[in-house]
Amino acid sequence: MASTGTVTEQTTIPSWGGRYEIIGLLGRGGTAEVFEATDRLLGRRIAVKVLREGTTPDPQAVAQFRREARAAASLNHPKIVTVHDVGMDGERPFIVMELVHGEPLSELLDREVRLTFGRAAAIAQAIAEGLACAHQAGIVHRDLKPKNVMLTANGLVKVLDFGIAQALDRTPVDEPLGTAEYLSPEQATGLPLDGRSDVYSLGVVLYEMLAGRPPFTGERALAVMHQHVYDDPPPLAEFRPDVPAPLRSIVDRCLRKQPGARFRDARALALELRRFQSVGPEATDPLPPTRVTDSLEADRPEDPRGTDHSPRARMIGAWAVAGLALVMAGAGLLIPLMTRHPPVAQARPEILRPAMALQVRGACGGFFKARASLAWRASTSRIADGYLVYRSRTPNGPYQTIGIVPGRAAIRYVDERLDVNATYYYRVRATSGSRLSAFSGPARAETPFFCL
C-alpha cells in the first residue's frame, strides 16, 4: 500500500512504502514541481516531477500522460533523460527520472544571449538525434523549448519530458506564459501532429540560439500563435547578419509553415547539421547538394534483342538524326505562323470583405476585473475562414492582436480580465488563409468604475 510523505508545507509526493527519500526541491513551474530524491531500492539519485497540490489535469490529459509516459520510459538514448518510473498520487500524475546535473539551455541563453555558430549547431544536432529516437518510437515531444533541454557539466545535451510535458504543464491559450513561442503552426491550430512539428520547434530553438530571441513574440499567447500560422519569421540577418548561409538555410527550412516543406524527419535534420559542422561552422557558401552515388544507367535494363554497332548502322543513324533535325527546324518556323494564341485572362482573386457593424460593450468580469463583449456582422465573402481581434488603449493605436476566431459565421468574442474604469478600442479583420481584409471599427468599450 502506498504511503505519502510530506515534502513541504504545500506539496506531498508518493513514497511507495519509503522507496523514495526526498532530498530537496530542484525547481517549480506553474503547475509542477521537481524534487531530487534517492531511490532506496536501487541506491541511486533520481528526480521526481509531480503536479503541485490543488492542480488537477482533466481526465483526458491524465490518460494521455499514462500512455505517453510509459512509452517515454521505454526510450534509451544518450540525448534523452531516462524515465525510470511513472505513477499516480491520487489524481496527480508523477514521473521518476534520471537526475541530470547541469543547467537548462534557457539559463545559458539568459546569460550569453547568443551562441557561436558551431555551438548552436552542435546543440541542435544533439537535440535532433534525441528527437529522432523518440519519433521512431512514435512519440512526439510537443513542448520542445530551451527550458526542456539540459546541458550537463561534461558537455552532454539531454532532452527532458518526452511525451509528458503537455500532460504535466498545461497552459491556457489565453495566458501570456507557457510555450506559445515554440509551437508549430499545426499545433497552434489544433491539427494532428507528427515528428515534423518537433522539427519546427527545434528550428525555433536554433533561431533563438543564433538571434538571441525567438522569431515570434508577444504579450498574449494567441497573438504569438497567429504569427506562427500566418506570418513569416523575421530574417535572421536582421538580428545577426553574419550567420552563415548554410545555417540560415537549415533554420529557414525548419520554419516552413507546411510540414511537408520541412526536413522529412529529425534524423534528416541531424544529418544536415552534422554536414554543416563538417565543412566548418564559419562556412559562408551554401552546402553542396547531397551526391547520388548510384548510377542511373546501371538500373536501366538491357535490350534483350541486342544493339547493332556496325559502321553501316552508325551511318544510317547519323543521316536519320540529321533529317529529323531539319524537319523539326522547319516545323519550328511554321508553327508560330499557323498558331495564334489568344491572350490568357488573369483570374482576379475574390475580394475579402471585412466584418461590419462592430459593437463592443464593457461589463464586470470578476473581482476588480472587467470584460468587453464584441459582436459584428459576418463577412459576406465566401472565402473568409475566421477573424482576428485587435485591441488598443487609444483610437489610433498601436493595435495588438489578442484573439483568433475561427469560422466565417463566428460573430462574437469576449476579452477577459480587463482593468476597471478603463477605455479600450477594438478592431476586427476577416481572414482567408494568409490574406487579411481591411479593418472594421474602431469600436470603443468603457469598463465599469467598480466590479465585485
Sign of CA dihedral 155, 159, 161, 162: negative
Q: Quick check: helix, strand or coil at residue 404?
A: strand
162, 198 Cβ separation under 8 angstroms: no
- Tell me whether residue 143 is one of the annotated catalytic residues: yes
Angle between helices 195-211 and 245-254 (to 10 degrees): 140
Tell me the three-class secondary structure of 119-157, residue by residue. HHHHHHHHHHHHHHHHHHCCCCCCCCCHHHEEEECCCCE
Longest dimension (CA), the chain: 104
User: 317: which DSSP letter?
Assistant: H
208, 216 Cβ separation under 8 angstroms: no
CB-CB neighbours of 27 under 10 Å:
13
Out of 85, 89, 143, 169, which one is annotated catalytic?
A: 143
120, 128 Cβ separation under 8 angstroms: no
Residue 27's alpha-carbon distances to 53, 84, 276, 400, 450, in angstroms, are 15, 19, 36, 33, 38
Pick from 258, 251, 280: which is nearest to 196 by CA?
A: 258
251, 210 Cβ separation under 8 angstroms: yes
Residue with C-alpha cell 462592430?
A: 358
Catalytically active residues, by annotation: 143
